Each structure stands twice: as C-alpha cells, then as structure tokens.
Amino acid sequence: MFDVIVIGGGPSGLMASVAAAEHGARVLLIDKGNKLGRKLAISGGGRCNVTNRMERKQLIEHIPGNGKFMHSPFATFDNENIIEFFEGLGIELKEEDRGRMFPINDKAQTVVDTLLRRIRELNVTIWTDSAVKTIDYKDGHVHAVKLMDGQVLETRSIIVATGGKSVPHTGSTGDGYPWAKKAGHTITELYPTEVPITSMDPFIKGKVLQGLSVREIELSVINPKGKTIKTHEGDMIFTHFGVSGPAALRCSQYVVKALKKFDVPTIELRLDLFPAKSSEDLFQELWKLVKAEPKKQLKNVLKGVTQERMLAYLYELHSINAEATCANISHEVLRQLANTMKQFSIQATGTLSIEKAFVTGGGVSVKEIEPKTMHSRKAEGLYFCGEVLDIHGYTGGYNITCAFSTGYTAGKSAAERE
C-alpha cells in the first residue's frame, strides 16, 4: 500500500511526488498519458520558464487569479526555493527580461528529464497509461483510487494534480473537477485566460495587418462607459482572427469578464503605440518632420515613425493622401494621425476557446483549501495542487511557480501527515 498517491504528471504532480518522497512517504505517481511532464516540455516555447525572480509582493501582483492565497505556499516553497532546487540538481539557470528564469541550454526537456531522474532516485513508483475513473471516500476520508481498468488502490492520502482544461493534448482535460465535486468541493466557473483575443473588425477580417508585430506598446481594455478596466504593456501581434502576443494574452481575461459583466457583443481595446509620449508630443514630432521637408511626399517623411504597414492603414483609415507633399499637409491631419497612434481602437468579440488558452481560469475554490498544507477542507487526506485550483497568473513563469509551490507544499504536507 502507498502512503500517498499523486494523480497527474504535470509540473505540480511531479513536484508533489518529489516532496512527498523526500519527506519519507511511499509514493505512487499515476498519469493517464504515456509520457510525464508533457506540458512542462512545451512550456516557455519549449525553453521552460521555470520561475520568475521577482520580489514576492510583485510575484503575487502577477497572479490575478487568487494571488493572495499563494502567500502560504510561498512560505513553504517559493521562487528562490525553485531556483535552488533546480540548480541543486545540476541545471544552470539564467535570468532574462522581467525576471524570467530559463535553463542556460534553453531546453525544457532537460528540466523534465532532471525532475524524472530525481523522482526515480527517490523510489517513487510511476504508472503511466493509467487513467483514474474516480476517487472513493469513506466517512469523510479518502479511501481509494479507482482506475478505468477496474483496479482499486487503497491509500490514506491523495494529491490531485490533474491540471485545468487548457492545452488538452498534454492530458489536462478537466478530469479532477468531478472527483473534487464528489468530495463536496465547489468548482468556480471555468474560463480561458492567457489566450489570444478575437475581433471582427473589417481590418482584421481583411487581414490588413495580419502578422504585424508592435513592440513596447500599451494595450487597454475599456468598459462601455469609456473607463479603463486594465492596461498591460509589452509586445503584441495582429493575427487573422484578432490579436495575440504578451500584452494581448494578459488582457484576455479582462475581455472575457467584461463581455459577461456588461452583457455586450464587443469590448473596446485601445492600443497605444507610443506609451512614453503624450498625444501633443507626438503631434509636435510629426509636425517638425513635415515642416523640415516641405517638398517631399508625406509617406517618405513619416517613414520609420512606426511600421510601414501600420502607417499605410492609418492613411487609408483617415483618407489621407500619402503621396501629397508635406507643404500641403494640415495640422488637423497630423493631429488625427497622432491621436490614432495613441488610441488605436479594436473591438474585441471574445477570445479563442479554453482549449486554445495557455491557462485555465476558475477551478476548485481556494476557500475550501487550507493554504498552509493544500489540504481539502471537505475530505480528510485529500490535497489539490496546480492548475486544477482556482489560481492563475500571467505568462512569464508565474503559473509554473504556483504549480511547483502548491505541488511541493501538498507533497510535504501529505508525507508529514502520514
């Protein structure tokens, strides 16, 4: 009989197995797939953004979905512990922009292989291709894990690390939610986060800007009364269905929530191509350029102010003759250009589906979980960690940090309880 059974071989499940075994438990790790660590292997674009080196206060600010809950798990195992853990296993890490930590060799597979090697060193029993049908409870206590093939495995502690509903080809298809419900847990509404945003604007449908990347911009989600709900800075890319890239992904959950809250068909996004300058400063810059070259064509003088395709679209949008000489360009035309570069409007209709999202919003309610141990408040011996919980961060190493932290905390607590 195993002391602890971990269900799910993603980041949180692997870390839970390590922690439980390091603290003396006999551990069985079960996964329905044929390969462990599949989501880890594709994370960070295949480079594996293992954590983020920000100060804890900032770290929690980057976890918009119940970040405050993470104070306790971080007290047990935080981003600095994650860095020590991997460096202790021989993986050299490097810090990139915005605190993101990657293996020096840029290979996510190294992280997966190293974790699996550690798990095997600790004599964790691994069963792949083993789908769990349900968890049985007896008198308010976990009793056994029932597999699809009919096997019944009795145990005193079960850690559910089955992930959310995003990136389903890695095995996260929402399996853990019914088992949590069976124990009496609330599953908060599931929705996609960190997901590309869709739009039906004519310039999107016409693929006018498709593939165009804009760097160091600000993207804001605007409510129907014209007030800003949220602004994110970073890079963005126009796609054939809408917008993507870091700034868009971070705004996506606010689009989903606003469409629902205000019950409207579209929510406005405002793109600021020059966040460091005011509209007036930008206008003055354009005016100086135009005044200095009165005989040249407008399109040649403004070339390089922003991407050519963006400029071409702006001329078309405002019916500006880009072939006209600068001497014939009015103040008003340049003001229009400056204002649109500062407030380029996109009507968002929603986002791609939860399956296409990087992260699932919603899940097992954290109000029903003890934050110091990740133990269920509904059933004895039941633990949850990772994305199955109603916790989500932005992309940039925050979700994986939550997964490792809650996983380690659950594993340690389950072993110590035994």
Q: What is the pLDDT at residue 98?
A: 87
Q: What is the DSSP string of 259-294?
A: HHHHT-S-EEEEEES-TTS-HHHHHHHHHHHHHH-T
Task: Please check whether residues 164 and 290 belong to one and the same domain.
Answer: no
Q: Name the token pair of 252.
A: 């996506």
Domain of residue 51, residue span: 2-190+362-417
Q: What is the pLDDT at residue 418?
A: 75
Task: Please check whether residues 257 and 298 belong to one and the same domain.
Answer: yes
- The type of residue at 215 is R
Q: Is the pLDDT of residue 412 over 90?
A: yes
Task: Please check whether residues 410 and 394 belong to one and the same domain.
Answer: yes
Cβ atoms of residues 255 and 221 within 8 Å: yes
Tell me if 299 is assigned to some domain.
Answer: yes
Out of 304, 322, 351, a domain closes at 351
Q: What is the pLDDT at residue 378?
A: 98
Model pLDDT for residues 169-183, shown as the tens digit of each residue:
889 999 999 999 999
Model pLDDT for residues 304-356, shown as the tens digit of each residue:
999 999 999 999 999 999 999 999 999 999 999 999 999 999 999 999 999 99
Cβ atoms of residues 76 and 86 within 8 Å: no
Mean pLDDT in residue range 97-116 = 95
Q: What is the pLDDT at residue 140?
A: 95
Q: How many domains in the chain? A: 2
Q: Is the pLDDT of residue 386 over 90?
A: yes
Task: Please check whether residues 11 and 150 belong to one and the same domain.
Answer: yes
- The type of residue at 8 is G
Q: Which of 272, 225, 265 is nearest to 251 (CA)?
A: 272
Crossing angle of helices 308-317 and 331-342, rounded to 10° = 120
Q: Is the pLDDT of residue 216 over 90?
A: yes
Out of 351, 386, 405, a domain closes at 351
φ, ψ (nearest 5 deg) of residue 160: -90, 115
Task: Please check whether residues 346 and 399 belong to one and the same domain.
Answer: no
Task: Please check whether residues 108 and 216 belong to one and the same domain.
Answer: no
Tell me if 264 is assigned to some domain.
Answer: yes
Q: Is the pLDDT of residue 1 over 80?
A: yes
Mean pLDDT of the chain: 96
Q: What is the pLDDT at residue 249?
A: 96
Q: Which of 401, 396, 48, 47 is nearest to 194 (CA)?
A: 396
CATH of the domain at 109: 3.50.50.60
Q: Where are the beta strands (DSSP E) in 171-284?
A: 191-193, 197-199, 213-222, 228-238, 242-244, 267-272
Cβ atoms of residues 252 and 192 within 8 Å: yes
Q: 412 by DSSP, 3-state: which?
A: helix
Q: What is the pLDDT at residue 45?
A: 86
Q: What is the pLDDT at residue 44?
A: 85
Instruction: Say which residues have a Cβ less than 8 Å from residue 363's Cβ, sequence separation at least 6.
Output: 164, 177, 187, 188, 190, 387, 388, 389, 390, 391
- Taking the CB of residue 382, how many other CB atoms lie within 10 A of it? 25
Task: Please check whether residues 210 and 330 belong to one and the same domain.
Answer: yes
Task: Please check whether residues 49 and 175 belong to one and the same domain.
Answer: yes
Q: Is the pLDDT of residue 202 over 80?
A: yes
Above pLDDT 70, what percent of the chain?
Answer: 100
Model pLDDT for residues 281-302, shown as the tens digit of each residue:
999 999 999 999 999 999 999 9
Tell me if 357 is assigned to some domain.
Answer: no
Task: Please check whether residues 233 and 151 belong to one and the same domain.
Answer: no
Q: Is the pLDDT of residue 227 over 90?
A: yes
Task: Please check whether residues 289 and 384 belong to one and the same domain.
Answer: no
Task: Please check whether residues 293 and 204 belong to one and the same domain.
Answer: yes
Q: Name the token pair of 278.
A: 């005011």
Count of residues in the chain: 418
Tell me if 356 is assigned to some domain.
Answer: no
